[in-house]
Structure 1
Amino acid sequence: MSRAATTLILIAVAALAGIAAHWIGLPLPYLLGPLSVTALIATGLPTTLPAGYAFPNWLRMIFIAIIGLMIGARVTPELFVNAERLVASLLALIAFVGIALAWNYVIFRHLGGYDRATAFYSSTPGGLYESLAMGEDAGADMPRLILQQFLRVIVVVTVLPIALSLWLGAPVGSAGGMTLARASVPLEALPVILVAGAIGIVAGKVLRLPAGQLTGPMAVAAALSLTSLMPLDIPQWLVNVAQIIVGTALGMRFIGLSRALILRGLGLSLASVGGMLIVAVAFAALLAPVTGEHFDVMLISFAPGGVTEMALVALSLHANPAFVTLHHIVRILITVIGLALSARHLRRTL
């Protein structure tokens, strides 16, 4: 079977899994459903895939850009009305990243027994792709590093929306029917969306932005929204397709990983994420009176998970998703800047 045919079949199977996950009521169904089924294929049926198969990176990049546009379109001037309160919570993220990194290093180094490079780069609470790239340069065990970084995101975006749903007594996020997209957008808007996404991808690469394929398009959409030049509306069907593609690409990252390794990594990830969420709860409780935001809004602003799902949960709580998204982007920036500053030293000592 050709690689192109394999990709098309995987996307079709992933789409069916997304529909099923939506019917069941899972949070972020069109991401987690495809991710789950393709991860099962990658680990349980690897011989059905062509030798050396990898999901096309260019395809994943296009649809990550769509998600970036969707988030950026929600950035409005109202987000910066209480700038002084916003600064307090953004500064607190520096402390959060440091504490989370230290906690995770203890888990992966001493409980997991990982070597120093693998433990350190597995510990970062953000900057997934940057952590993988720098970890590879530092000689980290890449299968374990990939596993732990992806499990961090998966565990947070699965556990937190479910926990909040139980606490609030009603579904939140995409399980509650929330979306950052528009249901009815004319097809004539697609060329504008594609051009904005392409400009964003190029800008992300040229400016070397962290997670540039996401943050570049997000910055373009935010600029268009803030200036009212051409606010973008992203149709819901396109967002669903984007999540299916991204979920499929993530699931294929598990090719070559044994079930035993995955189960052990999941146990370590639960300990890691559990500790980070406890820290996030503490910061949320401290900052809620300072920022004037509700405790649950601050909690999802600090939770080290997926940008998209946390923004969807924010909609369920009648909060501005751009407020939540900004915190997550800053968390990623702080993490990546910290990695960049320490990379040379780490290469000498790890």
Structure 2
Amino acid sequence: MGHPLATLILLALGACSAFAALALNLPLPYLLGPLLAASLVATLAPQHLPSGYQFPPKLRLAFIAIIGLMIGAQVTPELFSDAPRLMLSFAALTAFVVLAHGFGYVILHNIGGYDRPTAFYGAAPGGLFESIAMGEEAGADAARLTLQQFLRVVAVVTLLPIGLSLWLGEPVGSSAGMTLARSSVPWSALPWIALAGVTGIILGQALRLPAKQLTGPMAIAAILSLTGLLHLDVPQWLVNTAQVVIGTALGMRFTGLTKALLMKGLWLTALSVGGMLVIAAGFALALMGPLDQPFDVLLISFAPGGVTEMSLVALSLSANPAFVTLHHVFRILITVVGLGLSARWLRARL
């Protein structure tokens, strides 16, 4: 149902929360600030929202495309200069997805007591929106599934940059002021950005890409960059606006959750995501020599969440953000393909 005034108020609240998170030096402040504020409204004061209110999905879709364009523009020919090592890394990442998903499933089903569909799709280490959509089709509990998937991303993009900041002795990621966007971009570039975004969304839908609202525009920007036809520079103000819109939209998905369910989700996330990060650290240690990459760069490449924030952390570490981004896109792809292939097996078990 359309409630433009409610949407404007929520976005204004999200913007204020973003500036507060920025003042506190939180990672990804323009995303996490609005997400936390909107989730508090959704869980503690849903009675103040219009009856049947839903955040406009097309608005969220448009701004997710902006993030995709920003990331895709970082892909350069140099990234593919060492194909054998890249293939080894992708093979290891495939093994990581299987192990991390299995570990998360055991935590959510055996310890958390979630039913099989909710535990299976809630434990997926990637493909946030696809996991939720497939899980709901399989009969999963929508509230618990949404909670676990969002908490996975929030936990990784919050805890990993903070942990690396403490280890390195200085801020990393967006809290260090890092960005993949350009601060000075002429207004004449906006029509090209809009055209690339729309084309990317259409491409993602036509090819049924995983996380198509992100990967479709990202593919368009990467193709333009790799071919030298056009390098898309996305202005910083547009990226910040996109994150406020996306964070507010994600936070509103918590509508209907109780305090008890939220607390249970938090400690299950601590167990499952903690285990996934330990597995990621093991792969990072094993691949340091063969891939000739530092441990911290490989760790953020395998961490199960936050494409944008992990790419910003890569900038802090003087690493190529496109290298990290490529690994996260592959993780999402493998996860979503695995969910699709496993759907028939899961239905048989049920």
Matches within 5 A, 1:9-28: 9-28=9-28
| Offset at residue 54 of structure 1 (A) | 0.8
- For residues 266 and 224 of structure 1, the distance between their equivalents in structure 2, rounded to whole angstroms, comes to 41
- For residues 26 and 244 of structure 2, the distance between their equivalents in structure 1, rounded to whole angstroms, comes to 14
| Offset at residue 341 of structure 1 (A) | 1.1
What are the Cα deviations for residues 45-104 of structure 1, in whole angstroms up to 9, with x where unaligned? 111100111100000000000000000000001101111111111110111011111111
- For residues 13 and 123 of structure 2, the distance between their equivalents in structure 1, rounded to whole angstroms, comes to 32
Q: Is residue 4 from structure 1 mapped to residue 4 from structure 2 by the alignment?
A: yes
Q: Is residue 331 from structure 1 mapped to residue 331 from structure 2 by the alignment?
A: yes
In the other structure, the counterpart of 1:73 is 73
Native 8 Å contact 1:200 1:216 kept in 2: yes
SS of aligned partner of 1:8: helix
In the other structure, the counterpart of 1:60 is 60
Alignment root-mean-square deviation, CA = 1.0
Aligned length: 350
Native 8 Å contact 1:193 1:232 kept in 2: yes
In the other structure, the counterpart of 1:86 is 86
Native 8 Å contact 2:196 2:221 kept in 1: yes
Matches within 5 A, 1:114-125: 114-125=114-125
Q: Is residue 248 from structure 1 mapped to residue 243 from structure 2 by the alignment?
A: no
- For residues 259 and 228 of structure 1, the distance between their equivalents in structure 2, rounded to whole angstroms, comes to 52
In the other structure, the counterpart of 2:343 is 343
User: Measured at CA, do residues 229 and 166 of structure 1 come closer, stay the same or move farther in structure 2, by a change above 3 Å?
Assistant: same
- For residues 158 and 19 of structure 2, the distance between their equivalents in structure 1, rounded to whole angstroms, comes to 17
| Offset at residue 2 of structure 1 (A) | 7.0
Native 8 Å contact 2:118 2:135 kept in 1: yes
Q: Is residue 43 from structure 1 mapped to residue 43 from structure 2 by the alignment?
A: yes
- For residues 129 and 237 of structure 1, the distance between their equivalents in structure 2, rounded to whole angstroms, comes to 25
Matches within 5 A, 1:1-350: 3-350=3-350
Give, as a single letter, the amino acid of the residue that structure 2 aligns with 1:27: P
Gaps of 5+ in 1: none
SS of aligned partner of 1:199: helix
Native 8 Å contact 1:284 1:299 kept in 2: yes
SS of aligned partner of 2:230: coil
- For residues 51 and 154 of structure 2, the distance between their equivalents in structure 1, rounded to whole angstroms, comes to 27
- For residues 13 and 123 of structure 1, the distance between their equivalents in structure 2, rounded to whole angstroms, comes to 31
- For residues 348 and 281 of structure 1, the distance between their equivalents in structure 2, rounded to whole angstroms, comes to 34
- For residues 20 and 132 of structure 1, the distance between their equivalents in structure 2, rounded to whole angstroms, comes to 30
Per mean C-alpha deviation after superposition, the further-off stretch among 225-234 and 80-89 is 80-89
Per mean C-alpha deviation after superposition, the further-off stretch among 99-108 and 66-75 is 99-108
| Offset at residue 123 of structure 1 (A) | 1.1
Q: TM-score, normalised by structure 1?
A: 0.99
SS of aligned partner of 2:179: coil
- For residues 81 and 341 of structure 2, the distance between their equivalents in structure 1, rounded to whole angstroms, comes to 32
Native 8 Å contact 2:2 2:53 kept in 1: no
| Offset at residue 345 of structure 1 (A) | 2.0
Native 8 Å contact 1:67 1:214 kept in 2: yes
Give, as a single letter, the amino acid of the residue that structure 2 aligns with 1:184: S
Native 8 Å contact 1:173 1:316 kept in 2: yes
Give, as a single letter, the amino acid of the residue that structure 1 aligns with 2:131: S
What are the Cα deviations for residues 26-52 of structure 1, in whole angstroms up to 9, with x where unaligned? 000000000011111111111110011
Per mean C-alpha deviation after superposition, the further-off stretch among 4-13 and 335-344 is 335-344
What are the Cα deviations for residues 134-177 of structure 1, in whole angstroms up to 9, with x where unaligned? 11121111110110011100110010000000000000000000
Gaps of 5+ in 2: none
- For residues 133 and 307 of structure 2, the distance between their equivalents in structure 1, rounded to whole angstroms, comes to 20
% of aligned pairs identical?
65
Native 8 Å contact 1:2 1:50 kept in 2: no
Q: TM-score, normalised by structure 2?
A: 0.99
SS of aligned partner of 2:233: coil
SS of aligned partner of 2:65: helix
| Offset at residue 132 of structure 1 (A) | 1.2
